[in-house]
Chains A and B, each alone.
Chain A
Amino acid sequence: MSFLPVATHCVETAAGVFGLGREELLKLILATEEIFSYLSSNVCRGEILDIRCVNGLSYVRVEFRFSVSALDMGALNIAASVPCASEDDMAEMGLAIASRTIDRLNIIAERQNRICLSIEKDKDYPPAPETSIAPIDVTGALTVETPDTEGVKRYVTRVTQGPHDPLRPPFFHYPGKVADMVTAGDCQVVTAVDAKGECAGGVLFRFLTARIVEVFGPHVFYQVREGEIAAMLLDACIARTARTKAIGLVNLTGLPPSSQSQFELLGLMNHYRQDGESIARQAFYRLLHEDPGCLVFTDECLKDYLQREYGRLFLAREIREVRDQGEMKAGVSIFSAEVRRERSMASLRPLWPGADLDANVKRHLRFLKEEAINNIFFALDLGVSWHASLMTVLITNHFRPALIIPFAGQADLLIFQYDRTEP
């Protein structure tokens, strides 16, 4: 704990240099303080704890890296110390408090029992102007281009000033932020322009996982030529990703009808707003290469579901059933949790198996409900055999399989969504 001032000073100095505003900086320092104290007291006491500050241009990330022994694992669950509901007790919770003051918190397992716990604080940007840009009148042939910073900002402003979409990611409200995201390489934008430089549409895409690219759009601003513009933007997006690490494109926020025939329907996701209203949105997918096929593991309870879905999607999978045959299970499980407060969303993933899977799921649910998180997802990697043992646990705890994202993990990811209609 004597190193706490070193840690906070390091983050304060670096984040200040990286351009984080004063208010955000204070929140990041507070979160750093909580996490450092928590980790050094509960998780890796007396051990080396590396802290790294990363300039993401549109955000600052602080990474905490450390080694853990099996005994300490449980403390890494974001909901590890949530058994009590009283606010006084909550004050003692390092990870929980940190998760409230920053924008994203994530825990991932690295090689050799190393853990990276990262927190991110977004920079503050002015929102897109409310004054509408004049409607465009596109003439003649269109070309696809990679826009410069001004072009990116103009595209984002037009998207924001278009029809309201509650599921549009918040960054679309901040043109300067997207421009920084593009500069940082966090995403790419291509636009369709005419000879006068009028932007008729655009598409934004970024790596969602190591091999899956998430597409936002195509957004078309000149409806008279909607089909043509959407098709050329999509072609450009595919051309730019076809020879990268990406194996597939996914669209989780909605595709224009003219583009849907180029994708495959994965399923339906329900998003719950703060007011409780739910919005259903179709999720689409497109492979960029031949399906090489793979082996997936399942519990008996979801075997039929997987067979049905893989049949519908024409995906070649060898489905292998995993059974509990009484083998010993020991230790505490650990789940990673990515909390996105701006979307009232949390994504959980299993990192380590343990004998307490059911209790751990329940703890996380309790914590996230108390944090008023409305959209709780749980992703299982169907290529990891022990993840299958969570299937029954999740279903018992009112999660429902929502969709499969092919190759988003070691094999496919099966996304469960918590059913809010359940108690």
Chain B
Amino acid sequence: MIEPNLDLLVPAYVREFEPYIPSKPDPELQKLYGCDHLYRLNNNENPLGPPPGAQEVIRRFPPPRGAVYPSGDSYYLRREIAACHGIDPDQILVGNGANEVIAFVIKAFCGQGDNIITADKTFAVYEWVAVFSGIEARVIPLKEERFDDRAMLHSIDAATKVIFLCNPNNPTGTYWSRDTLRDFLDAVGGRQIVVIDEAYCEFVEADDYPDGIALINDYPNLIVFRTFSKMYGIAGLRIGYLAGDLKVVDMIRRTCVVYSVNGIAQEAALACLRDETGHIRRTRQLIREGKAFLCAEMAAMGMPIIVGEGNYLIVKLPGSDTLAYRKLMHEGIMIRPMTGFRYPNHIRVTLARMEALEAFVAALKKILV
């Protein structure tokens, strides 16, 4: 048998990229760490799960439909999203989670020699997709925990194709106001594509928080990402979308793999948008209570925190975050160590039900003794 010469066959930027290794399934982790329960405070999942309508869709999905291809371009869902925002359905592209639409955008706009701009301490997937596609990722340091608009503008050059913003930012929870965003878009002047990832927008209650989709008419170089994984609690079904100007989306559609979104996800997402039971209100209430509780507890323990919008906050530890992860796992608590986000000695904690947060506080006190 002759093995392929991978050194010759695989581009250097792929060979040198370290694949992300996701966590093992919960039962495996529990076995490894010897814990009989596991509170998942690592992935910013919604502890309330999907809205009741979506739960019903999942429960009643007819098994024979498993044999039938879904709508290849999420036809009904795009119409529903478009109706919600008053835009054309063709301005929407649905993907297998928002991660997939990140890849659509980079593939559509970037070629060899181009670059993208993002921040150093933000959602890592923009950077990853660029790097393993052979595209330079310019990571601009946050300034006071928020995206540094001036520094980002300053780093634009002729090869810059896409600027990725996360609003509110994961993991700091900071956001750009409507004015800041408009000023930034004015300064870019349509020369680059600006992507605003609004994965956590439904959690934001501040009045000056901008609705990116509402700005697309004014800024046709703007693309907005949304997800059903966070507020709507269907992360397990993997579905998200992008919205943009008709001509821009028409270009992105060329790099989009149809049929990547399964049928049950499309129907559950439709049910999420049609929810009238107050799912968002209930979730926001839970997050508010959790945030107040954790802020008070961390203050009492003398632990600095970084907290803003979103269903998470960051705690600064006196020592290694990755060691804290392992110790907390032994206590049945899974948090996100932040070294990978370039925040060494910080952990991100998902705001969850009180029982889980109380368990986290107790475990943290125990491991810091």
* Residues of chain A at the chain B interface (Cβ within 8 Å): 111-112, 211, 234-235, 238-239, 242-246, 261-264, 286-293, 314-318
Contacts and interface: CB of A to CB of B under 8 A. Distances in A.
Interface in B1-48: 3, 16-18, 21, 23-24, 28-29, 32-33
B86 interface: no
A236 to B, nearest CB: 10
Interface stretch (B61-69, B151-159, B237-245, B337-345): B337-345
B255 interface: no
A243 B29 contact: no
Nearest to A288: B339
Given A263-B320, A287-B323, A290-B337, A244 B329 contact: no
A264 B345 CA distance: 13
A296 to B, nearest CB: 12
B342 to A, nearest CB: 4
Given A239-B120, A242-B342, A293-B32, A286 B326 contact: no
A258 to B, nearest CB: 12
A-B complex: 3 closest residue pairs judged by Cβ atoms: A316-B32, A287-B322, A245-B18
Contacts of A291: 322, 325-326, 329
Contact of B3 (A111, A287, A288): A111
Interface residues of B, number: 33
Nearest to B19: A245
B33 A292 contact: no
B337 A289 contact: yes
Contacts of A234: 344
B323 A264 contact: yes
Given A211-B18, A289-B337, A289-B339, 8 more contacts: A239-B344, A244-B18, A261-B318, A261-B319, A261-B320, A286-B322, A287-B320, A316-B329
Contact of A242 (B28, B32, B326, B340): B340
A287 B326 CA distance: 10
Nearest to A246: B18
Nearest to B21: A292
A289 B20 CA distance: 10
A238 B320 CA distance: 11
Interface of A is mostly: loop
B327 interface: yes
A314 B330 contact: yes
B342 A239 contact: yes
Contacts of A262: 319-320, 344-345
26 contacts: A112-B3, A211-B18, A238-B339, A239-B120, A239-B342, A243-B127, A244-B18, A262-B344, A263-B320, A264-B320, A286-B322, A286-B323, A288-B339, A288-B340, A289-B21, A289-B339, A289-B340, A290-B23, A290-B322, A291-B322, A291-B325, A291-B329, A292-B21, A315-B326, A316-B32, A316-B326
A245 B14 CA distance: 12
Contacts of A314: 323, 326-327, 330
Contact of A238 (B28, B32, B325, B344): B344
A295 to B, nearest CB: 10
Contacts of A289: 21, 322, 337, 339-340
A53 to B, nearest CB: 18
Contacts of B29: 293, 316
B22 to A, nearest CB: 9
A238 B339 CA distance: 7
B299 interface: no
B24 A292 contact: yes
B296 interface: no
Contacts of A244: 18
A71 to B, nearest CB: 22
Contacts of B128: 243
Contacts of A263: 320
B321 to A, nearest CB: 9
B120 A288 contact: no
B214 interface: no
A2 B342 CA distance: 57
Interface in B286-325: 318-320, 322-323, 325
B14 to A, nearest CB: 12
